[in-house]
Structure 1
Amino acid sequence: MRIYGFGEYGDAQVQEHLDRPDPVPGPGQLLVEMTAAGVNPADIKVRSGLRKDNVEVVFPMAMGREAAGVVQSVGAGVVGFVPGQRVFGQTVSGTGGLAELVLLDAASSAVVPDGVEDAQATCIPVSVGTAHDALDQLELVPGETLLVTGAGGGVGTATCQLARLRGLRVVALASAAKAELVASLGATHVESGDGWPERVRAIAPEGVAAVFDLVGAPVLADALTLVTDPARVISIATPAAAKEAGGSGVERRRTTEVFAHLAGLIAAGDLSPVVSATYPFEQAADAVAAVETGHAAGKVVVVRAPRLVVHRRSDHQRMPWRNGGGITSEVTRSPADGEDFDWRVSFAEVDAGGPFSSFAGVDRIIVVVDGPGFALSVDGVEHALRLHEPFTFSGDSDTTAEIGGPTVDLNVMTRRGRCAATMEVVHLVDGEPVSLPAEADLLVAVLDGTVSLSSAGETVSAERLDVVAASAASLILAGAGTVAVIGLSVR
Structure 2
Amino acid sequence: MKAAAFHSFGPPEVLQLVDLEAPHAGPGQVRVHVKAAGVQPFDTAVRTGWQPPGASVKFPQIPGNEFAGVVDQTGEGVSGFSIGDEVLGYRILGCYAEYVVVPADQLVLKPQGMPWEEAAVLSASGQTAYTALRELEVGPGDTVLIHAAAGGVGTMAVQLAKAWGATVIGTASERNHDYLRSLGAIPVTYGDGLVARVRALAPDGVDAAFDAIGGEALHASVELVHSKNRIGTIVDHALAERLGVRGIRSQRSAARLAELVGLYVQGKLFVHVSGKYPLHQAAAAHRQVESGHVRGKIVLTIG
Q: TM-score, normalised by structure 2?
A: 0.95
Q: Is 1:30–1:75's contact at 8 Å kept on the other side of the alignment?
A: yes
Identical residues among aligned pairs (%): 40
Instruction: Tell me, in whole angstroms, the C-alpha distance in 2 between the residues paired with 1:54 and 1:238.
Output: 19
Regions of 4+ moved over 6 Å? none
2:18 is the alignment partner of 1:18: yes
Instruction: Give, in whole Å, the separation in 1 of the partners of 2:250 and 2:42.
Output: 15
* 2:57 aligned with 1:57: yes
Letter in structure 1 aligned against 2:197: R
1:251, CA displacement in angstroms?
Answer: 4.8
CA distance in structure 2 between the aligned counterparts of 1:246 and 1:52, rounded to whole angstroms: 23
Structure 1 or 2: larger strand share?
Answer: 1
| Alignment correspondent of 1:244 | 242
**2:47 counterpart of 1:47:** yes
Name which of structure 1's ranges 167-176 and 284-293 shifts more when overlaid on structure 2: 284-293
SS at match of 1:171: strand
- Quote the Cα distance in structure 2 between the aligned partners of 1:67 and 1:153: 19
Tell me if structure 1 keeps the 8 A contact 2:17–2:279: no
After TM superposition, the score normalised by the length of structure 1 is 0.59
2: distance between equivalents of 1:104 and 1:244?
A: 37
Secondary structure in 2 matching 1:207: coil
Q: Is 1:295 aligned to residue 293 of structure 2? A: yes
Contact kept in structure 2, 1:128 and 1:273, CA below 8 Å: no
How many residue pairs get aligned? The number is 303
Deviation of 1:62 after TM superposition, in Å, equals 1.4
Partner of residue 207, structure 2: 209
Q: Secondary structure at the match of 1:34?
A: strand
Matched, 1:282 2:280: yes
Partner deviation per Cα, 1:90-125 (whole Å, 9 max, x = no partner):
12x5x4111111123322211101232222222222
| Deviation sequence 1:217-260 (CA, Å, 0-9, x none) | 13212222111101111100112322332322335332211111
Between 1:100-109 and 1:50-59, the stretch displaced more is: 50-59
Match of 2:58, as an amino acid?
V
Instruction: Report 1:13-412 matches (<5 A).
Output: 13-51=13-51, 54-91=54-91, 93=92, 95-304=93-302, 306=303
User: Per residue, is there more helix in 1 or in 2?
Assistant: 2
User: What amino acid is the match of 1:62?
Assistant: I
Secondary structure in 2 matching 1:63? coil
Aligned residues of 1:212 and 1:235 also touching (Cα < 8 A): yes
**Partner amino acid for 2:28?**
G
Query: Offset of 1:286 from its aligned partner?
Result: 1.8
Contact 1:114 1:267 in 2 (8 A): no
SS of 2:45's equivalent? helix
Pair 203,158 (structure 1): closer, same or farther in 2 beyond 3 Å:
same
Shift of 1:136: 1.5
- CA distance in structure 2 between the partners assigned to 1:104 and 1:176 by the alignment: 41
Unaligned 5+ residue runs, structure 1? 307-491
Q: Which has the larger radius of gyration?
A: 1
CA–CA separation in structure 2 for the residues paired with 1:134 and 1:180: 25
Report SS of the residue matched to 2:176.
helix
* Whole-Å separation in 2 of the counterparts to 1:252 and 1:29: 22
Is contact 2:13–2:283 with CA below 8 Å preserved after alignment? no
CA distance in structure 2 between the aligned counterparts of 1:154 and 1:27, rounded to whole angstroms: 34
Structure 2 residues not aligned, in runs of 5+: none
